[in-house]
Structure 1
Amino acid sequence: MRSAEIVVADGMPLVWAARLLGRPVPERVTGADLLWSLSGLAARRGWPVHLLGGPPGAAAGAASTLSRRFPGLRVSGVSAPPYGFDATAEGRARVRREVVAARPRIVFVGLGFPRQDRLADELREDLPDAWFLGCGAAIAFAAGTLPRAPEWMRRAGLEWAFRLACEPRRLTRRYLVNDLPFAARLLTTALAARAAAAR
């Protein structure tokens, strides 16, 4: 994360903690939203994009959806490697060859944290002029293979609950065992810092 050029507040706990600390960020910025806005920019600038990740067929479906929405968008390639491909040097090398051969300017990497970030870091060596965006489930959202939470749930910070209801087997441990304690510690620390500053 420290090597990234840009880091955005993708989770509402980060937005809330920043407010508590008196240093608010303008808004929550998700990979799912950036997929659309950056695809629009790429279409206007003539930059080729590559979609990497998502369940089988999702990258191709997202490419089709984005191309309809943004006429002129150049999708230089799509890759939907099988789960666990990145556990072997051979699997990573195969994907690396695909992406490098496509010569994209923007690569949307939807493999989930931290897998997408590690792979993007490797790919940057071969494509130093490309931008890599870790976008989680954004490719599946764009393809329509996974529903996205309604706008009111996103604004209220409840997108995680919607996602958990849609994919309980995959997300229960991640959200309730890993993320919830982190969010609680983050907000508690921010509250304590705010209280200390007020004294």
Structure 2
Amino acid sequence: MSTVDSFTGAIPTLDTDGVTVHLVAAEPALEVIANAASRHAERPLGVASINLDHLHHFGRHTHLGRASSAPPDGSPVEWLNLIDGAPIAAHARRETGQAHPKLSGSDLIGEVLNLAAARGLSIGVLGGDPALSDPLRSRLARDWPAVRFAGHWAPPRERFATPEGSAGIADEIRAARVDILLVCLGKPRQEQWIEQHGARSGAGALLAFGAVVDFLAGRVSRAPGWISRSGLEWAWRLMLEPRRLANRYLVQGPPAYWALRHA
């Protein structure tokens, strides 16, 4: 194990198929996010959810693992990598002899917004369907009226295809004075965008939380609590969106799981 500095302080870490995972509970993780959002350091905080899909894209076992979420010194973003998914939590328990909580973005987002309301922070969303802008605005106004909704950026995929296009998006976000940016582009694009353009966006904390935009806007329902606690939320999501998620869970997932068990 090792420790890292700055926002993440002395949080212990674990190497997981070449990806650093922070062994942290919900309350200190939320405090790290809120502090980063408030400070707007030159080197912002990126938050990633580490699950089998993440290992498929960034793990040591795959040829796709071209950019680990533990970038070398000098990275423009400091990463906080949270356990997301029963296999990662089980691996951490095997390696450390202690239980560590699963902290998925969909579980944390409510508390993130509560902290944003308490500290007067603004929220922006990058990604998702443009049709979600009004439901997002309505949900935030209803449940978190003290949070300033800085904007929803849902540009066409082509705009992300060039460095100039992505940089332009970051400039728009900076102009809107976003404190916490939810980056919901799907893996690996969301982590790559944060690494390459997060500092330019001016946001203090950038959360790679994937489907959170759909949950907040009411487009997709969260799994019942007992399903999530039993580690079967992936099956719930597969049932709701089989065409989009079958490849992730049924084709890409098994090799990542094998690599995790034989790390």
Q: Same fold (TM over 0.5)?
A: yes
Distance 2:212 2:99 in 1: 22
The answer to whether the aligner puts 1:189 opposite 2:255 as a matched pair is no
The answer to whether the aligner puts 1:123 opposite 2:197 as a matched pair is yes
| 1:81-160 alignment, distance < 5 Å | 81-127=155-201, 130-160=204-234
How many pairs does the alignment contain?
189
Relative to structure 1, the CA distance from residue 108 to residue 129 in structure 2 (aligned partners, 3 Å threshold; closer, same or farther) is: closer
CA RMSD of aligned residues (A): 1.9
> Contact (CA 8 Å) 1:15, 1:24: kept in 2 or not?
no
Distance 1:183 1:67 in 2: 40
1:5-32 C-alpha deviation (Å, 9 max, x unpaired): 3110012110011122234353100111
| 1:26-65 alignment, distance < 5 Å | 26-65=100-139
Once the two structures are overlaid, the 10-residue window that deviates more, 87-96 or 134-143, is 87-96
Distance 1:115 1:5 in 2: 15
- The normalised TM-score by structure 2 is 0.66
Distance 2:209 2:178 in 1: 16
Distance 1:59 1:111 in 2: 15
2:251 to 164, 177, 181: 177
Distance 1:179 1:5 in 2: 23
Distance 1:80 1:128 in 2: 18
Match of 1:77 in 2: 151
Supply the AA of the counterpart residue of 1:141. F
Structure 2 unaligned spans of 5+? 1-68, 72-77
Relative to structure 1, the CA distance from residue 23 to residue 8 in structure 2 (aligned partners, 3 Å threshold; closer, same or farther) is: farther
Relative to structure 1, the CA distance from residue 189 to residue 7 in structure 2 (aligned partners, 3 Å threshold; closer, same or farther) is: same
Distance 1:168 1:31 in 2: 21
Match of 1:16 in 2: 90
> Contact (CA 8 Å) 1:76, 1:103: kept in 2 or not?
yes
1:15-72 C-alpha deviation (Å, 9 max, x unpaired): 0111222343531001112222111111110111111112232244223213311221
> Contact (CA 8 Å) 2:166, 2:197: kept in 1 or not?
no
Distance 2:168 2:225 in 1: 38
Once the two structures are overlaid, the 10-residue window that deviates more, 131-140 or 46-55, is 46-55
Distance 2:235 2:135 in 1: 25
Give 1:90 deviation, angstroms.
4.4
Supply the AA of the counterpart residue of 1:146. V
Relative to structure 1, the CA distance from residue 19 to residue 80 in structure 2 (aligned partners, 3 Å threshold; closer, same or farther) is: same
Supply the AA of the counterpart residue of 1:189. H
- The normalised TM-score by structure 1 is 0.86
Structure 1 unaligned spans of 5+? 191-199
More strand by share: 2
Match of 1:194 in 2: none
SS in 2 for 1:124: helix
The answer to whether the aligner puts 1:164 opposite 2:238 as a matched pair is yes
Distance 1:85 1:163 in 2: 28
SS in 2 for 1:6: strand
